[in-house]
Structure 1
C-alpha cells in the first residue's frame, strides 16, 4: 500500500482525543490539558471550554448541541454557548472512567467506560456499554466489553461499531428501532493491533488509530485492511471532514510514554486527503466562523 504523507495541521497539545468535524470546524479534546478546542480548516485554533475532570469523547446531537465526556466523574456534559451543564450522570452505572461514545440518528448516545481503575493499575476486567436516551434514561445495552474505546454508528443508524482495545478487535452490534443492541459479532480482528479512536466513511469502512503500533488503518467489515498510515509514536483517533468530506484528520502523540508522563506537548493533528468521503457529506450544515480570541 502506497499512501500519501500526512501533513502537520496543528501541534503543541498534550493528548488529543475524539476529533469531530462539525459545521466547518474541527473539534477535539485535549485530555491531559483539560480543554476542548475548535480549529478552522486553516488551522486557526480557539479554546472552547475547560473541563476540570478530563474531557474525552465528543459528539453533536442533531440540533448541533455539543456533548462532552467528563471522564473522571463519569458525566456527559452539554455546552450551551459558553456554559457547561450536565446532560447525564453515569457515576452509578459506569465501572470506571467514561471514555468515548457514539450518537445514533435518534440522538441516543452509546457510551463506554474503562471498567476498572486503569490509572491506579487495578486488574483488567470487562465492563458494560450504556445507552443514554433523550429523556435522560440510562440503560445497560451490552456486557462483557473489554475496554470499550472509540465507537461509531454506521449503516444509516443500524450498526454500532466499538473498539475493544485490549482484545485488539472492532466489535459490531445491530441497533433496533428502540435502540437495543443485538447480534454481537466481530467486525474486524486486528491481531496484535490495539484500536483507540475511530471514524467511518461513506462505504461503511472504519478508519482507526492503533495506539500500540502508531498506525492508522482503514478496515472493512470482515477485517481486510485497505489503507495504512504510519506515525513515529502513538496513533490516537481520527475523523473525516473538510469542504468535501475527504480530509482525514488524525491525532497522534509523537513521543514516548515517558514524554507523555512528563506532560510534554507532543500531541499533534495531521491531515491527509482520502478517496472515500465521510457519510452523508451532501447534508452538511452551514460553516461556522472563529471570531473569538484564538490560541
Structure 2
C-alpha cells in the first residue's frame, strides 16, 4: 500500500471528534473540553461554542445553521449563522445512553446514533439505534439493533447511509427513501469475524478493525478511523481495504475528515489513551494530523 507522510497540525486538545471542513477551516468537537473549535491551516485554534453536555457530531443545515450533538443531554443543538443557540431536537425520551456522531442530508434530515451503553465507563457493549431528526425537529427511530453506531456518511448520490458498527467490526449500508426512512439494510464491509458481545476488553481484543469516525471521497470510498489499531483505512465500494495510514506516534485514531482547498487533505484525530481522556486523567494529549490522499472529497456527506 502507498506510504503517506503524516504531519502534525495542532496539539493540546482533550479529545477530538467529528472533524469537518467548511469555510476554509477545520471544525472539531473537543469533547472533554466541552467545546466546538475551528483550526485554520496553520493550526490556530478558535473556540466557537461551549457545550456543557459534551459536544460530538457536527453538521450543517441547508440554511447554514450548525447542528451539534450534546452527548450526555441527548440533544441536537442548533447554532444559527448569527450565533443564536437553541435546542433543535431532544432525543432523551427515546434513548437512555449518549448520542454520538451526526450526518445531515441535502434536505436537512439529521441522522445520529446512540451508542447503547456507557462506553467510557467500560460497560459491556449492547446494541444501540440510529435516529432520524427531520427539519422540524421531530425524532424518529430509523434503525434498531445497531452495534455501537458511530461514524456515518452519505454517498454522493444522496441515496445511501453508511454506518460504522464499531463493536461488530463492520460498515452497514441503508437505502435512504424519499421521506428519509432507512431500508434495505445490507453489509458494506466486514473486517474480520464479529465477536460475541461480552466484556469490553475481550470484544475489542477480538476485532480486526474497530470502525469509528468516517469520511467519504468522490469515488464513495470510505476512510475509517480504526479505534483499535492506531490507523485509518480506506475501504472501497466492494468492501475492500485499499489503503492504510498508521499514526506515526502509535496513538489511537478515532475520527477523520477530508477537506482542504482541493479536498485531498485527510485530517486525523488522535490521542494516546481514549479512556484516560474520558476520565480526565490526560487533558492535553489529543492531536490533529494531516495526510495528503489521491481521491478528493466529492458530493458525499459529511
Give TM-score, length-normalised by structure 1.
0.91
Distance 1:266-1:86 versus aligned 2 partners, 3 A rule? same
Kept in 1, the 8 Å contact 2:120–2:278? The answer is: no
Kept in 1, the 8 Å contact 2:9–2:289? The answer is: yes
Kept in 1, the 8 Å contact 2:214–2:224? The answer is: yes
Distance in 2 between residues matched to 1:234 and 1:96, nearest whole Å: 24
Match for residue 284 of structure 1?
none
Kept in 2, the 8 Å contact 1:217–1:227? The answer is: yes
Which runs of structure 2 are paired with 1:142-153 in the superposition (5 Å)?
A: 142-153=143-154
Q: CA-to-partner distance for each residue in 1:136-194, whole Å, 9 max, x for gaps? A: 22111111001100101113210000000000111100111111111111111122100
Which runs of structure 2 are paired with 1:9-158 in the superposition (5 Å)?
A: 9-80=9-80, 81-158=82-159
- Give 1:260 shift: 6.0
Paired residue total = 281
Distance in 2 between residues matched to 1:273 and 1:160, nearest whole Å: 25
Which runs of structure 2 are paired with 1:204-243 in the superposition (5 Å)?
A: 204-231=220-247, 232-243=250-261
Which SS does the other structure have where 1:156 is aligned? coil
Which runs of structure 2 are paired with 1:149-228 in the superposition (5 Å)?
A: 149-191=150-192, 192-228=208-244
Distance in 2 between residues matched to 1:60 and 1:121, nearest whole Å: 32
Unpaired segments ≥5 residues, structure 1:
282-295
Unpaired segments ≥5 residues, structure 2:
193-207
Kept in 1, the 8 Å contact 2:32–2:278? The answer is: no
Distance in 1 between residues matched to 2:286 and 2:276, nearest whole Å: 13
Kept in 2, the 8 Å contact 1:95–1:114? The answer is: no
Distance 1:121-1:236 versus aligned 2 partners, 3 A rule? closer
Which SS does the other structure have where 2:157 is aligned? helix
Kept in 2, the 8 Å contact 1:254–1:268? The answer is: no
Moved more, 215-224 or 16-25: 215-224
Kept in 2, the 8 Å contact 1:97–1:114? The answer is: yes
2:263 to 235, 245, 248: 245
Give TM-score, length-normalised by structure 2.
0.89
Which runs of structure 2 are paired with 1:271-290 in the superposition (5 Å)?
A: 271-280=290-299
Distance 1:266-1:96 versus aligned 2 partners, 3 A rule? same
Distance in 2 between residues matched to 1:111 and 1:173, nearest whole Å: 14
Kept in 2, the 8 Å contact 1:210–1:235? The answer is: yes
Q: Does 1:263 align with 2:282?
A: yes
Which SS does the other structure have where 2:167 is aligned? helix
Distance 1:133-1:255 versus aligned 2 partners, 3 A rule? closer
Kept in 1, the 8 Å contact 2:156–2:298? The answer is: no
Distance in 1 between residues matched to 2:299 and 2:276, nearest whole Å: 41
Kept in 2, the 8 Å contact 1:95–1:127? The answer is: no
Distance in 2 between residues matched to 1:115 and 1:254, nearest whole Å: 25
Which SS does the other structure have where 1:32 is aligned? helix
- Give 1:259 shift: 6.4
- Give 1:122 shift: 4.2
Which SS does the other structure have where 1:166 is aligned? helix
- Give 1:115 shift: 1.1
- Give 1:256 shift: 7.2
Q: CA-to-partner distance for each residue in 1:45-90, whole Å, 9 max, x for gaps? A: 1011110010011111122211000000100001133332101000
